[in-house]
Amino acid sequence: MNTFIPLDKVEEIDLQDYHEVWLTTSETWPQDPATVHRKCLWRQDREMTSDVEIDGVYFENLPHLWLRVDDLDDQQDIDLVIEKLKVRIAALNLKGEFYPPELPTAAPHKDEDEIKKDLRS
């Protein structure tokens, strides 16, 4: 699930609902790995249990919050976003990390039988 909000809404959004906060310069499918106009700004620490299989699909299905900025290389603007996020994170007593490492992505599905399967009933 992807949610886009304007930067001025950061101070009131319930970040507990989101796994990651991303920056993008576009609102058109920024989660596409081919898109270079995106940057993971913050990832919430989540308690994992042994009954959950962790793979790329698991992380892709978690909710992501997207914030549109004009330029991903404008560190002054990014710092303002970070400050707003830090205030909100502290208010909600959340744990996480800024600029986290990339998570694994799901491998493309290559099973021809599965691709050709008609799932309509």
What pLDDT, on a 0 to 100 scale, did the predictor assign at position 57? Answer: 64
What pLDDT, on a 0 to 100 scale, did the predictor assign at position 115? Answer: 47
What pLDDT, on a 0 to 100 scale, did the predictor assign at position 18? Answer: 92
What pLDDT, on a 0 to 100 scale, did the predictor assign at position 120? Answer: 46
What pLDDT, on a 0 to 100 scale, did the predictor assign at position 106? Answer: 53
Mean pLDDT per segment of 10 residues, for the chain of length 121 residues? 88 91 78 68 79 64 87 92 95 92 58 48 41
What pLDDT, on a 0 to 100 scale, did the predictor assign at position 101? Answer: 76
Concatenating the DSSP letter of every residue in the chain gives -EEEE-GGGTTTS-GGG-SEEEEES-SS-TTSTT--SEEEEEEE-----TTS--SHHHHHTS-EEEEE-S-TT-HHHHHHHHHHHHHHHHHHT--EEESPPPPP-PPPP--HHHHH-----
Cα torsion through 76, 15, 22, 100, rounded to 10: 90
What pLDDT, on a 0 to 100 scale, did the predictor assign at position 54? Answer: 62
